[in-house]
Structure 1
Amino acid sequence: MKNPKKEILITGFALFSMFFGAGNLILPPFLGKNAADAWHWVTLGFFITAVFIPILGILAHARLQGTMYDFGKKVSPTFSLIYCLIVYSISVALPAPRTASVTHEMAIQPYFGTDSLLTSSIYFALVLVFVMNRSKILTLIGRFLTPLIIVILLSIIFIGIFSSNTISTPTIFDTPFVSGLLEGYQTFDAIGAVVIGGVLVISMNFNKNTSFQEKKELITKSGLIAGLGLLIIYAGLIFNGAIFSSTFAEKATRTEVLTGLSTQTLGNIGTTFLSVLVALACFTTAVGIITGTSDYFKGLFNNSKKAYTVTAVIGCILGVVMGQLDVHDIIVIALPALMFIYPITIVLILLNILPEKLATPTIFKAVVIVTFIFSIPDFLQFFVNKESLVGIQNMIPFSKDQLGWVLPALLTFGVTSLLSKKEA
């Protein structure tokens, strides 16, 4: 690398931008509005699932320097194949179209009154152009788009912080910390980490002169930069949502809260700034998702460029179709999918960040299987009468908070580690 510091900064900005999409914009202010005086507990929970674990995912990629397939192959090749197919299917079917839906609702429809089909079609046509020129993605996003996103966001946050508003409403959450944890699922950032991290590794492989150690250092440091940026922005937006909570209608939607916040901090011109911000933030995330999915299927078919192109086109077409749903509908559809795949993704990230001797294939298998089994009640609650699950939830610690898999996974890791040491 000719200029390591510059490369780290540009890559860190690009990572931040690919993480920071639709959910990252609309969720924190709404969370802050509902959290009100408990905003700090909500922020801590949100930080764990929307910043800490995703950045660990990037650090795991720095260690592995492979594809998302490598995240699950210690469980078994078949498991890893199925896991990858599920994650990529969810990614192109939900968070990618959600970026188009948010862009339409907040940046296009209020000004032009056009149909969502037209917005989605133009939007994903541009996404396809970027995806097909993927070797330039990091530079274009990191050097030009991200700085503009950050400037607009920081303007909203700091003007809000130094306003005369004070938090005057109580929280509506029974357990603010847990509410923050679960809302962090909706950012898709843990899933984004295993998808986008692969994009980063493959994009860097275009430079044949960069060694494994140089790439590891670059990915690690750029990941930390992206994580710091996400933490500052999330905390700022949640706090602003809290201090302006009394000014929003009780049933205000996520997009209405974000729009109201920008108007109250930047005035009428704030809505224009917000429109630019929404379009940029959503677009960069969609590019990252479609690129990552196309990379995977390209590798699955012996590095076939045709497979890459076909996947990109199919992903963009699916984005146009699903982009016709409004933001709320996509969030509702996403919940059961997230409750199914997020716990497994989290444990895979945590296990892959550990040294080899602490995360053997046996430990991988045991922890992932137990996590899957104990997360089933969280998934089933969307399809059966919740009262029928009460008995099971009463037997599993934290299950009522939709975190029933956490303690069993930790215990399994501890017991399996001890048994492995005795066998050795």
Structure 2
Amino acid sequence: MKRISDIATIGFALFAMFFGAGNLLLPPFIGVQVGNHVWITILAFGLTGILLPFMGILSVTHSGDSFQDLGTRIHKNLVPVLGTIIMICIGPLIAIPRTAATTFEVGILSSFPESNPIWTSIAFFVVTWLFSIVPSKVVDLVGNILTPLLLVLLTILLVVGIVNPIELPKEGELSTMGSFTLGFTEGYQTLDVLASVIFAGIIITAAKSKGYNSLKEKNKVVIAAGALAAICLLFIYGGLIYLGASSGVHNPDIKRSELLIHISQSLLGQYGTIAIALSIALACLTTAIALTSAVGTFFSNLTKGKLSYKFLVTACCIVSGVLSITGVDNIIQFAYPPLAFVYPIVITLVLFVVIFGRFVKSRLPYIGALIASTIVAVLNLLKILGVWDEQQLSALNHIPFFDYELGWVVPAFVGFITLLLVEKMRGKKL
């Protein structure tokens, strides 16, 4: 019974860490655009929003106890470079400000139209700071108290929307493949793959603190908790995409926050605003607490204590608070280029360690895969920024799946296999 209880606590905490502002706002907005292509879109969004984050957890458990162990397995300089990029993205630059901005636009502004985002931001980050300042309490607080309430509120909304939809999903403008591509790429905006390799260390530490110290016991608890979080995410994401598709809204230019408010009010009436406000506050607060704690821990360890955990948490809250007042849509629009760059690199690291980690111990093949995916990520970033002309874009589209933003897949595999064969020819031990 104790193990089941511990798995539930850690699993619910992990779900809440993952399920933040983007996770609540993105799926309904995707549903509006895909219309009746709901199932293929849920599959695509689930790949980048659920399966890959779960594999991120696995990649860390296969390598040690933290992202530092995962990165060092490939190269000693990977942790400070890639780790810093990840932490800035999921920390004060994008993810944490987005949680406060979402809380204001959906949770506060709908009920108090004259509210000032500055005061909301201050209050939000004061609470975040208070809960983050003692990192050992984060998992139990989130898993035992905040997440169950969040799940209950969201489940009520989803059940009502599925049983009694506003209207049945209609055929949208996107094709089946277009819907798949949209779901897949929008899954990047959840930031969960990036967060997974960091959150893994938090839940591994939590498992150890509950007495699961052997490698076998620790991995069993962590993997089971990850599976529980994935099941919860699939239910919530799938339901929210369906709510968007059946919302009766067909304007793709609607603000994400306005869409969510429309859905909740249409389904639950006057209580919908209260329910969604509480859901938003809980989802955003739990994620902000976890991310702020992760940022403080990572950079404190990286600087070997020269920058204290408390100082870093405080600085993270201040920077995030300032950026949060720019608004959700502006943050999401700004986030896409850096995420499109870093995501293929992290996905390559995660996938290749999980798939080949037990058989290929040498570092060189993984370095080859990461170099290849980084090159393609740079090319895709330049495409997003509008650097290439039509002729150059046509040439780039000869890279398999490049036009679907999956151009890194084949080059990464070729880079891995090439350097693996080179080492074999040299007679090195794998």
Q: Which category of TM-score, normalised to the shorter sequence, fits these structures?
A: over 0.9
For 1:74 and 1:195, locate their aligned partners in 2 and report how far apart those are by CA, in whole Å. 15
Structure 2 segments unaligned to the other structure (5+ residues): none
- Give the conservation status (yes or no) of the 8 Å contact 1:185–1:338: yes
- Give the conservation status (yes or no) of the 8 Å contact 1:294–1:308: yes
For 2:304 and 2:120, locate their aligned partners in 1 and report how far apart those are by CA, in whole Å. 35
- Give the conservation status (yes or no) of the 8 Å contact 1:248–1:257: no
Q: CA deviation at 1:298?
A: 2.1
In structure 1, the residue matched to 2:119 is 118
Seen in structure 2, the aligned counterparts of structure 1 residues 190 and 133 have a Cα distance that, compared at 3 Å, is: same
Aligned length: 421
Deviates more, 1:96-105 or 1:396-405: 396-405
Q: CA deviation at 1:307?
A: 1.5
Seen in structure 2, the aligned counterparts of structure 1 residues 148 and 208 have a Cα distance that, compared at 3 Å, is: closer
For 2:349 and 2:136, locate their aligned partners in 1 and report how far apart those are by CA, in whole Å. 28
In structure 1, the residue matched to 2:106 is 106
- Out of 263, 268, 275, the residue aligned to residue 273 of structure 1 is 275
- Give the conservation status (yes or no) of the 8 Å contact 2:60–2:69: no
Seen in structure 2, the aligned counterparts of structure 1 residues 359 and 262 have a Cα distance that, compared at 3 Å, is: farther
> Within the alignment, does 1:357 sit opposite 2:359 as a pair?
yes
In structure 2, the residue matched to 1:201 is 204
> Within the alignment, does 1:290 sit opposite 2:289 as a pair?
no
Q: CA deviation at 1:197?
A: 1.3
In structure 2, the residue matched to 1:127 is 128
Q: CA deviation at 1:81?
A: 1.2
Superposition RMSD on alpha carbons, in Å? 2.0
Alignment of 1:22-421 (within 5 A): 22-92=21-91, 93-112=93-112, 113-163=114-164, 165-172=167-174, 175-207=178-210, 210-244=213-247, 246-303=248-305, 307-354=308-355, 355-358=357-360, 360-387=362-389, 389-421=392-424
Question: What amino acid does structure 1 have at the position aligned with 2:188?
Answer: Y
Question: What amino acid does structure 2 have at the position aligned with 1:19?
Answer: F
- Give the conservation status (yes or no) of the 8 Å contact 1:28–1:234: yes
Q: CA deviation at 1:414?
A: 3.5
Alignment of 1:10-21 (within 5 A): 10-21=9-20
Q: CA deviation at 1:302?
A: 3.1
- Give the conservation status (yes or no) of the 8 Å contact 2:94–2:335: yes
Question: What amino acid does structure 2 have at the position aligned with 1:236?
Answer: G
For 2:387 and 2:299, locate their aligned partners in 1 and report how far apart those are by CA, in whole Å. 38
Question: What amino acid does structure 1 have at the position aligned with 2:271?
Answer: I
Question: What amino acid does structure 2 have at the position aligned with 1:172?
Answer: L
- Give the conservation status (yes or no) of the 8 Å contact 1:375–1:403: no
- Give the conservation status (yes or no) of the 8 Å contact 1:65–1:201: no
Structure 1 segments unaligned to the other structure (5+ residues): none
In structure 2, the residue matched to 1:3 is 2
Q: CA deviation at 1:206?
A: 4.0
Seen in structure 2, the aligned counterparts of structure 1 residues 420 and 232 have a Cα distance that, compared at 3 Å, is: farther
- Give the conservation status (yes or no) of the 8 Å contact 1:35–1:242: yes
Q: C-alpha deviations, 1:353-375, integer Å up to 9, x for none?
A: 24332353011110000000112
Question: What amino acid does structure 2 have at the position aligned with 1:175?
Answer: G
Question: What amino acid does structure 1 have at the position aligned with 2:178?
Answer: T
For 2:341 and 2:128, locate their aligned partners in 1 and report how far apart those are by CA, in whole Å. 28
Q: CA deviation at 1:419?
A: 4.6
Q: CA deviation at 1:139?
A: 1.2
- Give the conservation status (yes or no) of the 8 Å contact 1:11–1:138: yes
Deviates more, 1:390-399 or 1:132-141: 390-399
- Give the conservation status (yes or no) of the 8 Å contact 2:110–2:273: no
For 2:304 and 2:366, locate their aligned partners in 1 and report how far apart those are by CA, in whole Å. 27
- Give the conservation status (yes or no) of the 8 Å contact 1:61–1:201: no
For 2:130 and 2:152, locate their aligned partners in 1 and report how far apart those are by CA, in whole Å. 26
Deviates more, 1:197-206 or 1:373-382: 197-206
For 2:119 and 2:365, locate their aligned partners in 1 and report how far apart those are by CA, in whole Å. 49
Q: CA deviation at 1:396?
A: 1.3
